[in-house]
Amino acid sequence: MMKRKIYILLFSLVSLLSCDKKVEVERGTGNELSDIFANIEGSGPDRLFEPRYSNDTIYFDIPYYYPVDSDFETDLSKIILRASIPSDAFVSMKFGDPIDLRRPLNFSVISGVGVEKKYIINAKKVGDTHILDAKISFEQDGIVQTVEAVLVNDELRFFIDPEIDMSKTIITFSINRHASSSIKSGTTLNLNENQLITVSAPGDVHKTYTIRVMEPVKLPYGFGVNRPMWLKLGADLGFTGANETAIAISGDYLVVTKTGTVGNSQYRVFDRFTGEYIRDMYMPFTAGSGAFSQSNQLVADAKGNLLSINRAAYGQTIHIYKYDDPFDENPELLINTTNVNDLLPTTADRSTGRRLNIAGDLNGNAVITTSASVTKSFYCWEIKNGMLTSKIPTLITIEGTTGNHHGYVPEVQYINPIITSNYLLGYQSDFSYINGTTNKQINAVSLSNRGNTTFMNALAIGTFNHATYAFLGRYFSNYDLNRMGLSMFDITDPQMLSIETSSSQYPSFNVFNSETLISTVATSGTGDIAIGYSDDGDRMQVYMLHTGYGIWAHEFTVYSAN
């Protein structure tokens, strides 16, 4: 009887399977590259060389030397290509291994249904023809004056009052060490009329610039001419993985915080105009500091004074040091308090020091904040007339924002340096405008491309030419947080923070968006933004740290492009 039951069961199973219909997999029709970039052996998955497109032809201008200021000549026979294609498509050649690009390279992308799309790659080695740090000097009323250039397209523009005689003007500049120029740096020129300068570099590349003196046309408000300053990859700055977590501007210097392992944090000082490393700052948080041995943040106030903070778990001591500048070897222990408050949720992380922010001038009026991780709260201190009102912080809890907490690295920026000022909050779920009296959300700020934005943890506020700007670092597309860009908003009229993207006035609110920087390293969303200004106030420099990628620098000026 048992055998009969088994036979019936097997027969039923075979019958059932024989009745199943064949499952057909629908193949894709996509056969186009969605992305392609190039690099060299030893660079891992880093995006070193970006393409140009013309229909089905892809052009790569490979630096003749890499890094560009080194003596390491690039070998076109050993270029590595990396590309993205539709999920069930395939490529007619193998990417990811060294390829010879000394001659045009033909390849195809074949869709899942077998439709072929042909591509051609043309690569050439080109030297660096950029002119950097161009200045002119001339004598006026017995005093030597120096003016920096503003690069607009292929013009080096110098904004000078028209009544000044420019017939004996000395021009200085820097170019790549492998390049040459038709006019030498230090040459005396007659700039009462335009002059031409040609920079030639290996690979038979030449670029001609016009040197032009113009009457300055300064805008009464906001920025006009703006330009990229530099973009430095992490490898060029000595970055390691995703350990760089903060940047600050003090005078002519850019300070980068490297969190490292416990006891190995560093504050590294660079020339902010060239990206050249100078030295390390004094570090108060060392391996011998016990609970105070790790630092994620060093930030600057509006005058270039600096504050550093240690990472403090709940119950540990918070130390905040004040530096006069990056070369201060004896910083003041400004705040010494304990990270304890019964109002913080007991189930949350509650650690402090992952973010530190200052609004105002530490020698005048200022507000200092540091967030309590995985809560909706932050600690706040106020400085009036250069004096800390209390070393015991005020705990502020925000109401009305999306989510149960603000993550590990939310950033709070007060619009004005008083504790009752309204403020901005950037965190993983939103960019919010907060009432400083009630600490309730006024509104979430409308963002273009909001649906593609994942985190918004980097935030800064700056004033320039009678305008107040907010700068937001945005992570796009995925939760690896490896795609970062910067958006700039005019918040001079705070009511603009409530404007919708559909409004015709939105472009006068969201006044600038950078390109997206794509890192090959997954990050924790710990990028940062810092702002600097020229001595005369005619230029503002904005720096964005994309952790795991490098630093992007862009300059805005008061000069009209017309």
CB 319 within 8 A of CB 284: yes
Percentage helix, strand, coil for the chain under 3-state DSSP, each rounded to 5: 10, 45, 45
Q: How far apart are CA 99 and CA 62, in angstroms?
A: 14
Total residues belonging to the chain: 562
Which residues are registered as beta bridge partners of 28? none
Query: If we measure between CA atoms, which residue out of 433, 379, 432, 373 comes closest to residue 406?
Result: 373
Rounded Cα–Cα distance for residues 271 and 552 (Å): 14
Shortest CA distance to 120 belongs to which of 79, 163, 67, 59? 59
Helix (H, G, I), strand (E, B) or coil at 513: strand
Q: Are 456 and 489 in contact (CB under 8 A)?
A: no
DSSP-assigned letters across all residues of 187-221: EEE-TTS-EEEEEEETTTEEEEEEEEEE---B-SS
| Bond into 86 cis (ω within 30) | no
pLDDT in tens, the chain (562 residues): 444 443 434 344 444 444 455 556 678 889 999 899 999 998 877 889 999 999 999 999 999 999 888 999 999 999 999 999 998 899 999 999 999 999 999 999 999 999 999 999 999 999 999 999 999 999 987 889 999 999 988 999 999 988 899 999 999 999 999 999 999 999 999 999 999 999 999 999 999 999 999 988 899 999 998 988 889 988 889 988 889 999 999 999 999 999 876 778 999 999 999 899 999 999 999 877 666 688 999 999 999 999 999 999 999 999 999 999 999 999 999 999 999 999 999 999 999 999 999 999 999 999 999 999 999 999 999 999 999 999 999 999 999 999 999 999 999 999 999 999 999 999 988 999 999 999 999 999 999 888 888 889 899 999 999 999 999 999 988 888 888 999 999 999 999 999 999 999 999 999 999 998 888 778 888 899 999 999 889 999 999 999 989 999 999 999 987 7
Distances from the Cα of 280 to the Cα of 255, 257, 268, 459, 503, angstroms: 9, 10, 4, 25, 47
